Amino acid sequence: MPVESVFPQLEALLPHVQKPIQYVGGELNSTVKPWDECDVRWSLMYPDAYEVGLPNQGVMILYEVLNEREGVLAERTYSVWPDLEALMREHGVPQFTVDAHRPVKAFDVFGLSFSTELGYTNMLTALDLAGIPLEARDRTEDDPIVLAGGHAAFNPEPIADFLDAAVIGDGEQAVLEITDVIRAWKAEGRPGGRDELLFRLARTGGVYVPKFYDVEYLADGRIARVVPNRSGVPWRVSKHTVMDLDEWPYPKQPLVPLAETVHERMSVEIFRGCTRGCRFCQAGMITRPVRERSITGIGEMVDKGLKATGFEEVGLLSLSSADHSEIADVAKGLADRYTEDKIGLSLPSTRVDAFNIDLANELTRNGRRSGLTFAPEGGSERIRKVINKMVSEEDLIRTVATAYGNGWRQVKLYFMCGLPTETDEDVLQIADMAKNVIQKGREVTGQNDIRATVSIGGFVPKPHTPFQWAPQLGVEETDARLEKLRDAIRGDRKYGRNIGFRYHDGKPGIIEGLLSRGDRRVGAVIRAVFEDGGRFDGWREHFSYDRWIRMCEKALPEQGVDLAWYTTRERTYEEVLPWDHLDSGLDKDWLWEDWQDALDETEVEDCRWTPCFDCGVCPQMQTSIQIGPTGKKLLPLTVVK
């Protein structure tokens, strides 16, 4: 039976909300497939507003991968703002997809991609609006499988009660394998109901189904063990790793938004993974090994993507894009090819030691010369050794001198506050570094209109990193340290006026810390916050620290733990961590040794260019580092005259 669109009911509500355009769908390159011609149907969600969710590469890739498959359809849904949520509840309009405005509850799978844990309350809002029971144990065969992915899914335990399943790692092959399991189960007449489908998914070894695992606790609140409660379920669930990115050139037809979004550009992922070994960086650790897309593969994706979208800027994405072994040839080749079209190129924040002026000039040749962003992360040489960010202040000053000398007038410097072993002095050296940057810029240019912006965020320890055992800095200590830094910058008459200072207080970071290293007991807090009206916790104007604190005090004491237990407490080697049964490929002993190296201020090289450090990923995941150079040119295409 076809599923009816809810758009007639929704349309009547749109004149009464802000930005109604984000709910109407119909974007260029969006896909609507006939419901009855498909036997497996996915609803994909990035649990944030349309303007943040639509450009998300992960959802866009899976949307296209699934819709290319015959008999499979995928549609997208995003979080609705509170004004529309209230009207939907009042008029009985359920959570809907933007493609065909079908109710989310009608799909086989409701897949959510979490890049941050602060989207958990938005997930509960969507489930509630969809009419899907919040807790997995209350769902029936008529409800979709609620599936989590994305970086935050590497510890799904805080939302385990609300999930049917989670997938860790790359999603391209995983969603197709899951689709095949669902299709076979449905073709057989749904034997064994929902429970049998979940068991078949769990049995693959690549899908985590929380209901098939029991968590046992010690008297002091720590986890004793996590154990399968059903025969045939693996003790550990492995991450998915896509090898040979050239075989997965997605998105081929990038979505072009109707409403303004956070990124107005076409993006191409030029490589996946990072082995720089920054100890704070979860993304770098969990996406190992490095897998480069070939220079010809990049060229083909850019060519097809620009023709399909009409964008005027191409983002070359990765965790450290300037580290691509052929980045100079990539940038020059693209700049040469699109000179007439004035297509601009951009990189995410650039490593100081990977920046060179030739690369920067190629990136800006056809586009505007905006500010440059560098991320030293730590203010002092000592703290950069702790976090394994091997960049000296001399490197930074030399780099910004080159930039200022070649016409740039603005640089942005990103740091973190609250790093392990950090002192006030480490943070105050950020002010000294910023002043030295301004001084050097004035010296090189002979002008005083040089600007630097210091942007600083609170450090949050993440699972599957060497810092997963580290204590998090408390709110009061974080705020006091940032206040001293602000005063040091603004109190300098000679340079302070040229230094912008942006920072977040410690409150959102502590809640993110609770959610990132929490276990199943934290689920009660998340649900209580949602029921109390918590929405869009990643947005400063919607986040309520007081609400989270109230609900922690309400839900956690009966479990024998509290907020500090999850955040500011240091863990020991012997402790069973909530995510230990989820295998990112990283050897736990190697992570512990790297944590000890951090405390000893010992740096570790990048294994792309040195012998293996035995992190465990390549042998355990049966993968390998894939880098160039290929020796090929971008594409055998001539510049259009």
Residue 479 lies in a domain: no
Residue ending a domain, choose from 232, 247, 282: 232
Residue 425 lies in a domain: no
Residues 13, 131 within the same domain: yes
Residues 206, 285 within the same domain: no
End-to-end CA distance of the chain: 53
133: Cβ contacts below 8 Å, ≥ 6 apart: 127, 139, 143
Residue 633 lies in a domain: yes
pLDDT value for 47: 98
pLDDT value for 635: 65
Residues 173, 274 within the same domain: no
Separation CA 157–CA 35 (nearest Å): 34
Q: Which residue positions in the chain have pLDDT lower than 70?
A: 1, 349, 368-370, 635-641
Residue 572 lies in a domain: no
Residues 80, 215 within the same domain: yes
Residue ending a domain, choose from 186, 217, 232: 232
Separation CA 606–CA 627 (nearest Å): 13
Separation CA 122–CA 128 (nearest Å): 10
Residue 429 lies in a domain: no
Residues 126, 214 within the same domain: yes
| Cα–Cα distances in angstroms (integers) from residue 326 to residues 146, 332, 388, 581, 630, in the given order | 40, 10, 24, 37, 8
Separation CA 499–CA 453 (nearest Å): 5
Residues 287, 212 within the same domain: no
Inter-residue contact 158 to 523 (CB < 8 Å): yes
- CATH label of the domain that carries residue 27: 3.40.50.280
Could you tell me the pTM of the whole model? Answer: 0.96
- CATH label of the domain that carries residue 325: 3.30.750.210
Question: pLDDT tens digit string along 490-539?
Answer: 999 999 999 999 998 899 999 999 999 999 999 999 999 999 999 999 99
Separation CA 267–CA 264 (nearest Å): 9
Burial 264-279 (b: 16+ CB within 10 A, else e): ebbbbbbbbbbbbbbb
In the chain, the number of structural domains is 2
Question: pLDDT tens digit string along 357-385?
Answer: 788 888 888 776 667 888 999 999 999 99
Specify the DSSP element, H or E, that contains 456.
strand 451-458
Q: Are strands 271-272 and 291-292 parallel, antiparallel or unpaired?
A: antiparallel
Residue 424 lies in a domain: no
Residues 130, 175 within the same domain: yes
Residues 57, 146 within the same domain: yes
pLDDT value for 641: 46
Inter-residue contact 139 to 177 (CB < 8 Å): no
Inter-residue contact 505 to 479 (CB < 8 Å): yes
**Domain around 201:** 6-232
Beta strands (DSSP E) in 544-596 are 582-583
Residue 138 lies in a domain: yes
Residues 193, 330 within the same domain: no
pLDDT value for 437: 94
Rounded CA Rg of the chain: 25
pLDDT value for 350: 73
Residue ending a domain, choose from 232, 257, 274: 232
Separation CA 142–CA 106 (nearest Å): 8
Inter-residue contact 167 to 149 (CB < 8 Å): yes
The amino acid that residue 569 corresponds to is: R
Residues 217, 271 within the same domain: no
Residues 208, 271 within the same domain: no
Query: 72 by DSSP, 3-state: which?
Result: strand
| Cα–Cα distances in angstroms (integers) from residue 431 to residues 351, 379, 416, in the given order | 20, 8, 13
Inter-residue contact 78 to 46 (CB < 8 Å): yes
pLDDT value for 357: 78
Q: Which of 494, 481, 461, 526 is nearest to 148 (CA)?
A: 526
Strand order in the sheet with 266-269: 266-269, 313-317, 344-346
pLDDT value for 637: 52
| Cα–Cα distances in angstroms (integers) from residue 192 to residues 146, 212, 578, in the given order | 18, 15, 30
Residue 557 lies in a domain: no
Residues 108, 219 within the same domain: yes
